[in-house]
Structure 1
Amino acid sequence: MASSNHLPGTTVPPFMIFIGYDPREDAAYNVCRHSLLKHSSIPLHISPIKQSDLRSSNLYSRDRDTTESTEFSFTRFLTPYLAGFQDGPCLSTAISYTPPMWPISSVSSTIASPSCVYTMKTTKMDGAVQTVYPRKNWSSMVLYNCGHPKNRILTPELVSSETGAFLHRFRWLDDEEIGSVPFVWNFLVGHNRVVENDPTTFPQAIHYTLGGPWFERYKDCEFADLWLKELEECEKEKKGDN
């Protein structure tokens, strides 16, 4: 279900955010949604990318591959389609916690993604196989220019049939069409590091790529306290709505 916040007196169209959803990580989605709505200074329209919904709507027919660690490994590339290929930016993310909101502005490049990260551990999440490939983790947070003609190639038919290499390495684009986002906006816990006395390295959006505090084995990982605090707020808010 999509959710949004509406700021009084504003006429700005909500900024669309699509969050990868996996039933095993329902808490991760809810905390991400909660933190986005809590910290945003602009109207948002947030939608989970649920594979079951896409399949029932005949928008996704890909067979599950052994290399897919989550249900949104490939469905995330439907973001421009789900946004209606509208002109302007929208965000596709697997980020788990966002302290402040992104400083969103117009997107001149076709897409903008974080710097390339290679992750060398063999497992992630709850024991899922970790696959290493060029441009690893670029697709975990993408700011799309949804109306760009080249992104119109990302139809349900293509996303259901193209190779993982084609999609995760953004092979439908030329290199110069891919912009960059500072790593702090997709801070990979366990890989990126905060440099002492350098505030520019402190995470602005946290991505527990190997596994987050919602898994028992990662409950004491770096920045777990921030996520658990947000979870507590999220659960209190949910009880208050009932």
Structure 2
Amino acid sequence: MDTLRIYIGWDSREDIAFQVAKQSLEKHASIPVEVIAIKLPDLVDQGLYTREVDPLASTEFTYSRFLVPHLAGYTGWAVFVDCDFLFFGDVAELQEYMDPKYAVRCVHHDYRPKETTKMDGVPQSAYPRKNWSSFMLFNCAHPSTRQLTPEVVNRESGAYLHRMQWAQDDEIGELPTGWNWLEGHYAKPETGYPQAVHHTRGGPWFKEWQSVDYAAEWLAEAAEYEAKVKTG
């Protein structure tokens, strides 16, 4: 693999979350990576995204994440990840999970959120395979993945997309829990760090969420990013 394409969801309300996810991912990567922001206004301008606004959608990339195989030209492998991640692991490790028999690989959470609202007041909902789609390793050339055309992504329900009904169950491979470690749900490892911490309840970019696990590490990463911006 020459370069691993990483698509990170971008939300206009949480740019700093995107920047920290991107910086921490690139910092730990030992292979070339290309990080691409999934920006809804750009996809709308290109005519790739035509869905009506969904009041229940918690982010601007709730549905557009499923355009990744199309954006990648239905070739090779690509990663989608939410913006509320902090990376400690090397994405080069994902290469060992690139088995062509799978359409997609992800952490198979059994997740039932305790909170009734998300970090910015959006109602929290529970559904099968919740959070599976927040970190996906796509086999973009797989026949099932190729079904994710812009027409399908714009037409189909959230349940169809997020529950990965576009693939057969045996085509949805697993990734180790550390690649989508849900803060507040999983116990912290006794030593070391998860590969990727997901602040799905609320992240340290909100003042009321600065006591969550790995908040200090996130804030340090954010300070490093902001210092780089100031110095040009």
TM > 0.5 between the two?
yes
Q: Could you tell me which amino acid in structure 1 is paired with residue 229 of structure 2?
A: K
- Per the alignment, residue 89 of structure 1 pairs with 77
**How many pairs align?**
226
> What TM-score, normalized to structure 1?
0.89
130, 150, 158: which one aligns with 2:124 = 130
Q: Could you tell me which amino acid in structure 2 is paired with residue 178 of structure 1?
A: I
Matches within 5 A, 1:47-62: 47-62=36-51
The unaligned stretches of length 5 or more in structure 1 are 1-11
Q: Structure 2 CA distance, aligned partners of 1:192 and 1:66?
A: 29
- Per the alignment, residue 152 of structure 1 pairs with 146
- Per the alignment, residue 113 of structure 1 pairs with 106
Given the alignment of the two structures, is residue 183 of structure 1 paired with residue 177 of structure 2, yes or no? yes
After the TM superposition, which of the residue ranges 116-125 and 57-66 deviates more from structure 2?
116-125
Q: Structure 2 CA distance, aligned partners of 1:133 and 1:195?
A: 27
> What TM-score, normalized to structure 2?
0.93
1:120-142 deviations in Å (ceiling 9; x for gaps):
32111211111110000000000
Q: Structure 1 CA distance, aligned partners of 2:185 and 2:32?
A: 32
Q: Could you tell me which amino acid in structure 2 is paired with residue 63 of structure 1?
A: E
The unaligned stretches of length 5 or more in structure 2 are none
34, 59, 66: which one aligns with 1:70 = 59
3-state DSSP class of the match of 1:29? helix
3-state DSSP class of the match of 1:217? helix
Matches within 5 A, 1:142-221: 142-196=136-190, 199=191, 202-221=193-212
Q: CA 1:83–1:236 in structure 2 vs 1: closer, same or farther (change >3 Å)?
A: same
Q: For the Cα contact (< 8 Å) 1:35–1:98, is it kept in 2?
A: yes
Q: For the Cα contact (< 8 Å) 1:67–1:131, is it kept in 2?
A: no
3-state DSSP class of the match of 1:129? coil
User: 1:195 Cα shift?
Assistant: 4.8
1:68-88 deviations in Å (ceiling 9; x for gaps):
1111111111111111111x2
- Per the alignment, residue 229 of structure 1 pairs with 220
Q: Could you tell me which amino acid in structure 2 is paired with residue 104 of structure 1?
A: L
Given the alignment of the two structures, is residue 104 of structure 1 paired with residue 97 of structure 2, yes or no? no
After the TM superposition, which of the residue ranges 55-64 and 108-117 deviates more from structure 2?
108-117
Q: For the Cα contact (< 8 Å) 1:20–1:29, is it kept in 2?
A: yes
Q: For the Cα contact (< 8 Å) 2:58–2:122, is it kept in 1?
A: yes
3-state DSSP class of the match of 2:43? helix
Q: For the Cα contact (< 8 Å) 2:89–2:194, is it kept in 1?
A: no
Q: Structure 1 CA distance, aligned partners of 2:207 and 2:125?
A: 22
Q: For the Cα contact (< 8 Å) 1:118–1:135, is it kept in 2?
A: no
1:155-196 deviations in Å (ceiling 9; x for gaps):
111111100110000001111001001111111111111254
Q: Structure 1 CA distance, aligned partners of 2:85 and 2:14?
A: 10
**Identity in percent:** 43
